Amino acid sequence: MRYCIYIFSSLFFSFSAIAQEQQVQAHAETSGSGNIYLNLLLLAVGLLAVILLVVSLVLLNAFKRVSEELQNPRPFSTESKKMLEYEEWAAIRKTKPNIWTKILGLKPVEEEKDLLMEHQFDGISELDNPTPAWFMWLFYGTIAIGVAYFSYYHIAEWGPLQEQEYIAEMDEAKAAKEAYLATAANKIDENSVTEAKDAATLAAGQAIFTSNCVACHGDKAQGIVGPNLTDEYWLHGGKINNVFKTIKYGVPEKGMISWEKTLTPKQISDVANYIKSLKGSNPANPKAPQGEKEG
């Protein structure tokens, strides 16, 4: 027994050392594929350790029995170990068939002569050995399941077909993607905002501008109380980051409120991009330029 403990301990500490070394290497790697290969390697080493342990235990048990037999050999007794004739063995087997014979519904070999069918071909006979009942019930069960499946999905149309399930899953994935993008879009700030010119962004920005900004800047951004937003002059910078920051924090000393708590970061980004798109639109009756000129 102590040899088993020695072997198990050796395998355990060897496996621990290998795993620790691989973990150290894994921290040095940055790619995901390296972690996958590491996991596979650890799994292979673990399986090898278990196999070696099982083989070692089996061999140790065999060596133990051989050693005991060599030290204290037991005499062979013909009385206690009576050799059975084939007929005796066949009779016992016939009265006590093994479990596989029962499960598979097979007939013993010695009964094959009673199963021979009358017809022969080239001296080859066929056995009348029918399929087991449990297998036939399984076969009929699959037919019943097929009929029920066809009736449920194709005739009654009570359940969605695979194509319909695919469409539903794609719709769910699209909704999840839109929700994620909406959440990610609201992480924009004056440092990370980028200029966009796609129609969806500009349309959303125009709607926000019309609802909140026309009172001060005019319906065409020509300027009323606030400055003209269509020329090349800017009071607080004309880059997308500057426009975003001005809308977000406002200019209280000049009467422009902060929109940080009214609009989401995505909405501020949309309206800032819409304002940037108005450059050179030349509205009627523009307000005189204010601020510094930017190209």
Say how far apart CA 199 and CA 219 lie, in whole Å.
Answer: 19
Do 281 and 219 share a structural domain?
yes
H/E element, 54:
helix 32-71
Asked whether residue 66 falls in the same domain as residue 113, the answer is no
Please, which pLDDT band fits residue 241 given cuts at 50, 70 and 90?
A: very high
In a domain, 206, yes or no: yes
Binned at pLDDT 50, 70 and 90, residue 29 comes out as very low
pLDDT, average across residues 263-281 = 92
Q: Are residues 105 and 155 in the same domain?
A: yes
pTM (2 d.p.)? 0.43
CATH number at residue 208: 1.10.760.10
pLDDT confidence bin for 242, thresholds 50/70/90: very high
User: What single-letter amino acid sits at 255?
Assistant: G
Least confident of 64-68, 82-86, 229-233, 273-277: 82-86
Helix axes 199-212, 265-277, angle to 10 degrees: 100
| Residue 87 in domain | no
In a domain, 231, yes or no: yes
252 lies in some domain = yes
- Judge if 135 and 170 occupy the same domain: no
* 3-state SS string for 258-287: CCCCCCCHHHHHHHHHHHHHCCCCCCCCCC
**pLDDT at residue 132, as a whole number:** 78
Residue ranges making up the domain that contains 64: 2-71
Q: What are phi and psi of 234, to 5 degrees?
A: -135, 135
pLDDT over 90 (residue 31): no
Confidence of residue 169 (pLDDT cuts 50, 70, 90): very high
Amino acid 202: pLDDT: 94
- Token pair, residue 95, equals 């009265």
Residues 130 and 53 in one domain: no
* Position 128 in a domain: yes
Helix (H) / strand (E) element for 293: namely: strand 292-293
Read off the pLDDT of residues 102-159 as tens digits, 9 standing for 90 and up: 666 666 666 667 777 777 778 787 777 777 788 889 999 999 999 999 999 999 989 8
What CA–CA distance (Å, rounded) separates 42 from 37? 9
Angle between helices 240-249 and 265-277 (to 10 degrees): 130
Let me know whether 217 and 279 are in one domain: yes
149 with 166, same domain? no
Residue 101 lies in a domain: yes
Cβ(259)–Cβ(295) below 8 Å: no
* Distance, CA of 264 to CA of 187 (rounded, Å): 9
- Residue 181 CA to chain centroid, in angstroms? 20
| 3-state SS assignment for residue 233 | strand
Same domain? For 176 and 215 the reply is no
C-alpha 150/C-alpha 210 separation (Å) is 56
103: phi then psi, degrees, rounded to nearest 5: -65, -45
pLDDT at 131: 78
In a domain, 84, yes or no: no
- pLDDT score recorded for residue 73: 79
180 and 133 assigned to the same domain: no
240 within 8 A of 289, measured Cβ to Cβ? no
Q: Is the pLDDT confidence value at 72 over 90?
A: no
Q: Are residue 282 and residue 206 in the same domain, yes or no?
A: yes
Q: Inform me whether the pLDDT recorded for 30 exceeds 60.
A: no
Q: Work out how many domains the chain is built from and give that number.
A: 4
Is 219 inside any structural domain? Answer: yes
Q: 215 with 226, same domain?
A: yes
> How many whole angstroms separate alpha carbon 51 and alpha carbon 223?
82
- Of residues 295, 294, 282, 272, the one with CA closest to residue 228: 282
On whether both 205 and 182 belong to a single domain, the answer is: no
